[in-house]
């Protein structure tokens, strides 16, 4: 799952990035309104952590721009301005949560997990496709009730497709979603092919009744044979 942190305080932004990367999120960052706007215009995110007080603009305007683009990202406002007007304004613009500064990083992580559960799993603890079940909070995968061991990127690819059932996914979009911003500009996608090959083999060996099929000239799609 890919996060974007829009926060102008360097020390706070860095500790958030380090903490969330240790939790195996793909984390991108922006230090001001302009770079945040560039990010949401060019890339998709599962969850955005958004400060209101940015040096060159109001974070609520960034939230408004995000919703105008009809992007599906969850949004948690993080701000030192713990005012009722800010909370109401953010929620009315479509924010999912509001976390005042200072906050504990453990609480931030819990709030991110809660937002992702609501957005991607209708509040459920797991995702299911055929006889495959995936638990994002523990990064656990089972096929027909039996555990399957996946490497990090293999898991990330499977999670990406299980949150987008029946969607045909472009190779560049998959690379950007799993490896991070700018990787979609790579000269080739051999690294995607290698991980996809291993994931398909493991799913087939485990007896999965789903398959990530190649769509000629475009990308991939998760289907049930």
Tokens of 130: 């055929």
Least confident of 23-27, 172-176, 188-192: 188-192
Tell me, what's the pLDDT at 205? 95
Tokens of 113: 């997990």
Distance, in Å, from the CA atom of 6 to the CA atom of 77, rounded to the nearest integer, reads 10
Question: pTM for this structure?
Answer: 0.80
Same domain assignment for residues 158 and 191: yes
Same domain assignment for residues 151 and 108: no
Same domain assignment for residues 100 and 201: no
Distance, in Å, from the CA atom of 175 to the CA atom of 186, rounded to the nearest integer, reads 9
Same domain assignment for residues 181 and 219: yes
Instruction: Look at residues 87, 105, 121 and tell me which one is the last residue of a structural domain.
Output: 121
Domain encompassing residue 11: 2-121
Contacts of 41 (CB under 8 A, 6+ apart): 69
The closest of 203, 201, 179, 202 to 189, measured between CA atoms, is 179
223 contacts 213 by C-beta, under 8 angstroms: yes
Tell me, what's the pLDDT at 90? 82
Instruction: Look at residues 91, 121, 151 and tell me which one is the last residue of a structural domain.
Output: 121
- What's the CATH number where 18 sits? 3.40.50.2300
Number of domains in the chain: 2
pLDDT tens-digit map of 88-124: 888 888 899 999 888 999 999 999 999 998 887 777 8
- What's the CATH number where 214 sits? 1.10.10.10
Same domain assignment for residues 117 and 60: yes
Instruction: Look at residues 70, 95, 121 and tell me which one is the last residue of a structural domain.
Output: 121
Tell me, what's the pLDDT at 49? 97
Tokens of 90: 């953010």
Distance, in Å, from the CA atom of 102 to the CA atom of 108, rounded to the nearest integer, reads 11
Same domain assignment for residues 32 and 61: yes
The torsion angles phi and psi of 169, rounded to 5 degrees, stand at -115, 125
90 contacts 48 by C-beta, under 8 angstroms: no
pLDDT tens-digit map of 147-188: 999 999 999 999 999 988 788 998 888 998 899 888 877 777
Percent of the chain with pLDDT over 70: 98
User: How confident is the prediction for the chain on average, in pLDDT?
Assistant: 90
Residue 82 has pLDDT above 70, yes or no: no
């Amino acid at each position: 799952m890919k996060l974007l942190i829009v926060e102008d305080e360097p020390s706070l932004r860095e500790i958030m990035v380090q903490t969330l990367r240790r939790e195996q999120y793909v984390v991108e960052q922006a230090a001001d309104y302009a770079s945040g706007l560039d990010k949401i215009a060019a890339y998709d995110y599962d969850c955005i952590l958004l400060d209101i007080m940015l040096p060159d603009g109001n974070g609520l305007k960034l939230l408004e721009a995000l919703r105008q683009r009809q992007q599906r990202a969850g949004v948690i406002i993080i701000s030192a301005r713990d005012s009722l007007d800010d909370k109401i304004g953010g929620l009315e613009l479509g924010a999912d949560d509001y976390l005042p500064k200072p906050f504990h990083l453990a609480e931030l992580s819990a709030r991110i997990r809660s937002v992702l559960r609501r957005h991607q799993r209708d509040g459920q603890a797991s995702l299911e496709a055929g006889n495959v079940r995936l638990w994002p909070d523990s990064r656990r995968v089972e096929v027909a009730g039996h555990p399957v061991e996946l490497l990090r990127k293999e898991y990330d690819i499977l999670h990406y497709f299980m949150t987008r059932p029946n969607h045909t996914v472009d190779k560049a979009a998959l690379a950007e979603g799993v490896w991070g911003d700018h990787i979609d500009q790579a000269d080739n996608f051999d690294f995607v092919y290698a991980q996809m090959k291993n994931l398909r083999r493991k799913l087939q060996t485990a007896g999965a009744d789903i398959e990530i099929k190649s769509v000629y000239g475009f990308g991939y799609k998760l289907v049930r044979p």
